């Protein structure tokens, strides 16, 4: 749903925690498929939620470079886990999907767009960094020269119920990227978890319609103040920082910085960072032909600038070394993205740090590049 401009939302509502199930039920009744944070293979991803208990209630996670572990959290805390490897990206930009069906005909072939099946999604527990990442992907798939049908069909039907972060993982740096921890745009509703209730703000007409069903009471000033204080404390306590003051210029100037060779010694070029990144949009298109040859599908798949084939053309690979690929990824993410789309490609979610098998931390790499810069005042 398209969020309204940030309207006058002086009034907050209160959703008792015990009534969160009602909210989920209303969404299903309104023919939304409800996604929320669920535990899978030891990590949190967004997937189908029917019951509050489907979510990792009472759990938190410990995140460090190359490390992710679930831990006991506060009793009854519903959104205690900040994030996991699964962003919202796969819900809208599918990891693999057919775009075109090309069918052999007596004289040639016909070309038909494969219209995606798109259940209306309502996503519960979307973080501010996730919303920022969606806005980044919207610029690529909706607001650039072409509007991508497949992305648009899912994206524009979706209802987003955000949760303001009241704790951060050690890998989070959304404050530096100015994307969080409070959700400021792109949501239909935003919840802030306090002791036994959620303080609810409305972000769109669609969000308003959902809470109208629930007939919520106005939140009292104490609860609103508590919610604001928790989010402010989360922001103040965030440890990791990325200095963006000299970007994009720093990375443009430092094409030959010795740090690129250093990080290439550690990077496995495994593509994990690009798979968990909520904004990475690189993809390839492959042809999948039926065994009888009657139909061939053009299928889009996520790709990565760390893959060997990414910059490969007949007989030449423009980025043969890991150094070239890490430099491309980091420079694109933090610098050239700004020239291309008017925004950084990084939202500070920290996933690439946690899910890097060798714990490469982009905030540390940028600092090291800056410390070893070849030009400018720091020389």
User: Closest separation between CB of residue 366 and another protein, Å?
Assistant: 17
Round the CA-based radius of gyration of the chain to a whole number and report it: 22
Q: Given the complex with another protein, which of 72 and 108 has the nearer CB atom? A: 108
Q: Given the complex with another protein, which of 71 and 255 has the nearer CB atom? A: 255
User: Closest separation between CB of residue 298 and another protein, Å?
Assistant: 6
Q: Give the integer Cα–Cα distance in Å for 350 and 348.
A: 5
User: Closest separation between CB of residue 133 and another protein, Å?
Assistant: 16
Q: Given the complex with another protein, which of 88 and 305 has the nearer CB atom? A: 305
User: Closest separation between CB of residue 155 and another protein, Å?
Assistant: 14
Q: Given the complex with another protein, which of 154 and 300 has the nearer CB atom? A: 300
User: Closest separation between CB of residue 250 and another protein, Å?
Assistant: 13
Residues lying near another protein in the complex (CB under 8 A) are found at 99-100, 102, 104, 107-111, 113, 140-141, 144-150, 248, 252, 255-256, 281-287, 289, 293, 296, 298, 300, 303, 305, 309-315, 318-321, 323-324, 327-328, 331-332, 335-336, 339-340
Q: Given the complex with another protein, which of 184 and 269 has the nearer CB atom? A: 269
Q: Given the complex with another protein, which of 246 and 324 has the nearer CB atom? A: 324
The dihedral over CA atoms of 186, 189, 192, 195, expressed in degrees to the nearest 10, equals -170
Closest CA to 329 of 354, 352, 357: 352
Distances (CA, A) of 210 to 28, 52, 83, 160: 11, 17, 25, 11
Q: Please count the CA atoms within 13 angstroms of the CA of 176 that sit on its side-chain side.
A: 22
Q: Give the integer Cα–Cα distance in Å for 181 and 213.
A: 28
User: 């293979």: which residue's tokens?
Assistant: 41
**Exposed, middle or buried, 17 (CB in 10 Å: 0-12/13-18/19+)?**
middle
User: Closest separation between CB of residue 149 and another protein, Å?
Assistant: 5
Q: Would residue 272 be called left, alpha or beta, if left means φ above 0 and alpha means ψ between -120 and 50 degrees?
A: alpha
């Amino acid at each position: 749903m398209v969020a309204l401009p940030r309207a006058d939302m002086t009034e907050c509502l209160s959703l008792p925690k015990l009534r969160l199930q009602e909210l989920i039920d209303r969404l299903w009744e309104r023919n939304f498929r409800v996604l929320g944070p669920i535990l899978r293979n030891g990590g949190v991803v967004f997937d189908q939620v029917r019951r509050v208990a489907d979510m990792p209630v009472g759990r938190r996670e410990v995140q460090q470079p190359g490390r992710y572990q679930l831990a006991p959290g506060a009793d009854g805390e519903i959104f205690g886990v900040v994030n996991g490897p699964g962003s919202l990206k796969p819900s809208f930009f599918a990891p693999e999907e057919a775009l075109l069906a090309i069918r052999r005909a007596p004289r040639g072939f016909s070309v038909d767009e494969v219209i995606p099946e798109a259940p209306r999604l309502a996503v519960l527990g979307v973080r501010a960094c996730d919303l920022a990442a969606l806005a980044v992907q919207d610029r690529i798939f909706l607001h650039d020269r072409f509007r991508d049908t497949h992305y648009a069909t899912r994206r524009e039907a979706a209802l987003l119920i955000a949760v303001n972060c009241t704790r951060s993982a050690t890998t989070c740096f959304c404050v530096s990227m100015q994307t969080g921890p409070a959700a400021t745009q792109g949501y239909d509703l935003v919840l802030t978890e306090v002791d036994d209730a959620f303080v609810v703000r409305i972000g769109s007409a669609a969000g308003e319609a959902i809470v109208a069903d629930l007939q919520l009471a106005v939140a009292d000033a104490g609860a609103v103040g508590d919610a604001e204080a928790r989010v402010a404390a989360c922001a103040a306590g965030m440890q990791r920082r990325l200095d963006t003051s000299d970007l994009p210029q720093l990375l443009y100037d430092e094409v030959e910085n010795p740090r690129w060779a250093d990080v290439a010694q550690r990077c496995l070029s495994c593509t994990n960072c690009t798979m968990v990144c909520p904004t990475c949009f690189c993809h390839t298109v492959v042809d999948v032909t039926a065994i009888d040859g009657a139909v061939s599908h053009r299928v889009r798949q996520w790709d990565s600038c760390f893959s060997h084939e990414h910059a490969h053309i007949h007989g030449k690979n423009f980025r043969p070394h890991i150094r070239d690929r890490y430099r491309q990824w980091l420079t694109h993410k933090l610098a050239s993205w700004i020239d291309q789309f008017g925004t950084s490609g990084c939202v500070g979610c920290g996933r690439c740090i946690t899910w890097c098998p060798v714990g490469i931390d982009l905030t540390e790499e940028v600092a090291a590049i800056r410390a070893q810069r070849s030009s400018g005042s720091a020389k």
